[in-house]
Structure 1
Amino acid sequence: MASGGKRTKGTSSRPKSKRAAGSAPPRAEEVDAQSEDAGAESQVDPDALEPDEAELVEVEPEEDAPRPAPTKALARAGESGLSNRDPLQAYMAEVQRHPLLSREEELALSRQYRDTQDVRTAYRLVASNLRLVVKLAHEYHRNPLSLLDLVQEGNIGLMQAVKKYDPERGVKLSSYAAWWIRAYILRYIMDNWKMVKLGTTEAQRKLFFKLRQEQEKLIAQGFEPSPKLLAERLNVTEQDVVEMDQRLGHDEVSIDAPLGGDDEGSRATRADRYLPSGAVPADERLGAEQLKALFREKLAEFSRSLEGKERYIFEHRLTADEPLTLQDIGDKYGVSRERARQIEAALIQRMREFMREHIPDFDLVATPKA
C-alpha cells in the first residue's frame, strides 16, 4: 500500500512463500509480550479483535522509521525508464513525506471521520501512521517473507483500525491500531509460512509461535522436551505437538516433483517411488483373463447338458442379466416357490462340481450370480 491506503506496487497480493527445512517461526522473545499473547492466539482472527482499554499500551510512530539497507541499483548508467531505487526504498521515501499528527489533531480528525465518514479525513489518519506499520513489520520480518508484503498486510489492518477507532475511549490511535496491524501481519505469516496452511485452530496458532521457545526453555531447565510435557505446558494435545513439530521441522514438497536430472530414468516422481500403484501387473491381468475365458467355455459346455426346468433356471435366473424371481419360475412350472429354490440349489451344486472337475483353479474365479 502506498500512502493513503493504496496497495504497495511491485508486490504480489498474497503469494505463497515456502520456508526452508528446519526453519522456525518468529520467536516470541523477538517481539514484545503483548504481540505474542494477543496476536498469536486470539488476535490472528482480525474480525474478532477488539482490545480492552487496559490491554492497550502506548505505541508511537517514529519520525525516522527503519530504512532498508542500500541495494544495488536496478538501472545502469545511460539506460532510461528504470528507477535506480527498488520498490522498498521508494515506498520508504513516500512514507517519510507524511508528517505525524499531534494529539489534538488526531482527536479532531478522528471525531470528524466518525461523524462524517469523510475519505480524505481517513486518508490523513492512515498516512500519519504508516511509519508504525513499517516498524511493526520489521519486528516480524523473516526470510523468505517479503517485508513489503508484511507492510501491505499491516496497512490493511491500519485501515481497519481507523474505521473502528473510537476517540472517546481515551486511547491513542497508534496504540489501538498496533493490535490490528499485528493481527493482519500474523495472519499473513501463518497463511504463507508453508505451502499447506498453518494455524487453522487455536492450538495450532499457539504452537506455531510458542513451540520452539518452550522446547528451549525445557532444555535449559534440564528436562527432555517430550510431546507429553510440551502438551501439558502449552495446554494442547500430544498429537497437536507432534504434528506441529513435524510441520516446522520439515519442508513440504510436491509428490509430483521429479526425483532426478534430465535423463530418461530420472523422470520418475515421488508418487511413483513412494505411493503404491493401483494397477494390476500385466502377467496377473493376462492370467485372470485366460482363466475367465476357460470358465465361460466350461459354463457353456455345462449348460448343454441341462434340460427342462434346470435349463430354464440356468438361462433365466443364474446367468441372466435380469434374473427372474423364484416365484416367477414356480408359476411357470406350477410348483411352489420353495420347490423352485430346491431345484436351483441342486443345480448350483452340480455346476460347482462340474467346474472343479474341469478347472483346477475354479475357486479363484467368481461364481455365477445366484
Structure 2
Amino acid sequence: MKFQTGVNATAIAPVNPWGMVPALGNLDAYITAVNRLPMLTLEEEQTYARQLRDHNSVDAAGRLVLSHLRLVVSVSRQYLGYGLPQGDLIQEGNVGLMKAVKRFDPEQGVRLVSYALHWIKAEIHEYILKNWRMVKVATTKAQRKLFFNLRSMKQGFKTDAMEDGATHRDTLSNAEIDMMAEQLNVKREEVMEMETRMSGGDVLLDPSPSDDGEQAFGPIAYLADAAHEPTAMIESHQRDVLASDGIAAALNSLDERSRRIVEERWLKVNDDGSGGMTLHELAAEYKVSAERIRQIEVAAMKKMKKALVEYA
C-alpha cells in the first residue's frame, strides 16, 4: 500500500471525515488537503492500532496513516536543501510512515508520531543518498551521519560568524573541521573529504550542443575507451588470429612455388628495410617470364583469401 501525491488517499477509508481529501493534481493541493485532516486522540490511535494488530484492519491502517501525513510533509521540508523534488521526498516519507504503522505496537506506551518519525527520516535519508549524486557519497553509518549534519553545522558556523561581525568563508577552517570531527566522532580527513564531495557540482557526461550549434565538450569525450569496447576487442582479437594462425593456414594451402612467391613478394623484410625479390628476379630463378610470376602471385592470393574466409 503506497500513498502518492496526486492520489486519493481516502480510498481505503471512505467514511467521513476522511473524505476531505479530494482527487489531487498538484503538490500544493495535496499539502493543503492533508493539513485539513484531523489528528487522532490517544484513545483513537490505540483503538485503531489494536484493530490493525489483532484483525489486520485495512481501514484502521488507513486512518493511522492519513492522520500522520502532515508529519511527513513537515519532515520533508527539512531536506529541501538537497535539490530533490519535495513531492518525491514526501512519497518516500509516506513509505516510511506506512512501515511504521505496520510495526507499531500500542502497548509500548509511545505515541505513533514519535515512533514514525524514525521510519520517515530513514526512508528519506536512503532516497537522498541514492539520488543526490550518481555516485554514493556516504556508505558507513558514521559517513551518513556526517553527510546529513555537515550542511546544518556549516550553516551554524556561518550564523555565529555573522553575529560576531566577521565574514565567513565557504570552506571550513581548521578549527571548525576539528570541532565537527569531534562532535560527530569521525576522522578529520573524513570531514574534509565529505565537504569536498558535497561542494562539487554535477557534471553532464554528454552535454547538449550550444546555441550556435557547436558540440559542447564533456567528460564522455575522454572517459570513453574505444580500445576496450567489447565489439572492438573481439574484432581486434580476430584480426590478430588471422594475421598469425590464419595466414599460416592459408600459406599451407599453396604449393611450394606459389608459397615462396607470396612470401618473397609480401612477407619478407630484409634487415635494411627492403622487401624480398622482384618479379624479374623470381622470373629469372624459375626461368619463366615476369608476367607468369605475376599470374601465379594473383592466383595464389585468391586461394589464400578463400582459405582465410574458411578459417575465420
TM-score range, shorter chain: 0.5 to 0.7
Q: Which residue among 177, 186, 192 is the counterpart of 1:235?
A: 186
Contact 2:5 2:27 in 1 (8 A): no
CA distance in 1 between counterparts of 2:220 and 2:42 reads 65
1:131 alignment partner in structure 2: 70
- Pick which of 112-121 and 247-256 moved more: 247-256
Q: 1:210 to 1:225 in 2, by over 3 A?
A: farther
Contact 1:133 1:158 in 2 (8 A): yes
2:212 counterpart letter in structure 1? D
Q: 1:138 to 1:120 in 2, by over 3 A?
A: same
2:271 counterpart letter in structure 1? R
Higher relative contact order (CA 8 A, sep 6+): 1
1:356 alignment partner in structure 2: 271
CA distance in 2 between counterparts of 1:355 and 1:182 reads 76
Q: Which residue among 48, 54, 70 is the counterpart of 1:109?
A: 48
Q: What do the CA deviations read for 1:258-295 (whole angstroms, capped 9, x no partner)?
A: 474433xx21532476559768xxxxxxxxxxxxxxxx
Q: Which residue among 194, 199, 206 is the counterpart of 1:256?
A: 206
CA distance in 1 between counterparts of 2:117 and 2:65 reads 12
Q: 1:115 to 1:145 in 2, by over 3 A?
A: same
Contact 2:6 2:25 in 1 (8 A): no
**1:1-370 maps to which residues of 2 (within 5 A)?**
6-9=3-6, 87-142=26-81, 144-212=83-151, 224=174, 234-236=185-187, 238=189, 240-258=190-208, 260-263=210-213, 266-271=214-219, 274=222, 320-321=248-249, 355-359=270-274
1:262 counterpart letter in structure 2? D
Shift of 1:101: 1.3
Contact 2:5 2:91 in 1 (8 A): yes
CA distance in 2 between counterparts of 1:190 and 1:168 reads 34
| TM-score, structure 1 as length reference | 0.48
- In structure 2, the residue corresponding to 1:190 is in which secondary structure? helix
Q: 1:235 to 1:322 in 2, by over 3 A?
A: farther
Shift of 1:141: 2.5
CA distance in 1 between counterparts of 2:180 and 2:36 reads 48
Contact 1:157 1:180 in 2 (8 A): yes
* Runs of 5+ consecutive residues of structure 2 not aligned to the other structure: 8-22, 162-171, 228-242, 252-268, 276-312
Which structure has the highest helix share of the two? 2
CA distance in 1 between counterparts of 2:185 and 2:155 reads 14
CA distance in 2 between counterparts of 1:161 and 1:257 reads 42
1:195 counterpart letter in structure 2? M
Q: 1:224 to 1:90 in 2, by over 3 A?
A: same
CA distance in 1 between counterparts of 2:109 and 2:28 reads 35
| TM-score, structure 2 as length reference | 0.55
Shift of 1:204: 3.4
Q: 1:225 to 1:253 in 2, by over 3 A?
A: farther
Contact 2:48 2:60 in 1 (8 A): yes
* Runs of 5+ consecutive residues of structure 1 not aligned to the other structure: 11-82, 280-295, 297-316, 324-353, 361-370
